Structure formats: structure tokens, C-alpha cells
Amino acid sequence: WQGLPVFAFAGIAHPEKFFATLRDLGANVLGCEALSDHEPLSLPLMKRLAAKARSLNAQLVCTEKDAARLPAQYQRDVLALPVRLEIQDWSKIDEKLINLGL
């Protein structure tokens, strides 16, 4: 992601966190658009976002959640940032599960 010029979009609850993650990874975020959570990725919307990315000479980027809902004709052209949760200390989670009898 280092130095990659991107135009990012996200239809998640806190899109600013996604945009910040891209910046933290070194992406050159030239623009971003926060969509409503679960907003349909209609063809007109995607055409507009793709045109904006092209005008900035940037790669269109989204979350994996949004990538799963991309119209077929955009699935090859939009990069998705994989996000994984890493838990350092499982002890509190284990304790809660034990208390629940799981």
C-alpha cells in the first residue's frame, strides 16, 4: 500500500477508521467517500466513484465488506483492503465464555 495513490470508499459504520488505516499503511489517499452503512453499490454510484478515481489517477479501494457487494463489472478493478482482528490476550474472552458455559 506504501505510496499507492487511492480513492477510497466505504459503506461501513465508521468509514473514517478505514480511511485512517489506509493512511497508516502508507497509501496516498487522494480522496475518499463515506457511504451509508450497507448502502447499495448501484451502477450509477460505482460509475461516479470510478470516474472520480480516474480523474485523480488513483486506484479505487474499498473494504472487503463492500467488495463482496460490488457489481460484477467492478470486481476486477476495485482493490479491497483485507482487515483481520488480532487478539493479543485471549484470557478475558476465555473467561467470559467459561462463565457462559461455552
- Torsion sign across C-alpha atoms 13, 14, 15, 21: negative
pLDDT at residue 61, as a whole number: 98
Burial of 28 (0-12, 13-18, 19+ CB in 10 A): middle
pLDDT at residue 38, as a whole number: 86
pLDDT at residue 101, as a whole number: 86
- Per-residue pLDDT reduced to its tens digit, 54-88: 999 999 999 999 999 999 999 999 999 987 778 88
Q: Give the residue from 14, 82, 19, 78 showing the smallest Cα distance to 46.
A: 78
- Per-residue pLDDT reduced to its tens digit, 8-29: 999 998 999 999 999 999 999 9
pLDDT at residue 3, as a whole number: 97
- Which runs of consecutive H residues, i.e. helices, occur in the chain? 15-24, 43-55, 64-67, 91-99
pLDDT at residue 83, as a whole number: 78
- Cα distances from 100 to residues 89, 92, 93, in angstroms, run 19, 12, 11
pLDDT at residue 79, as a whole number: 97
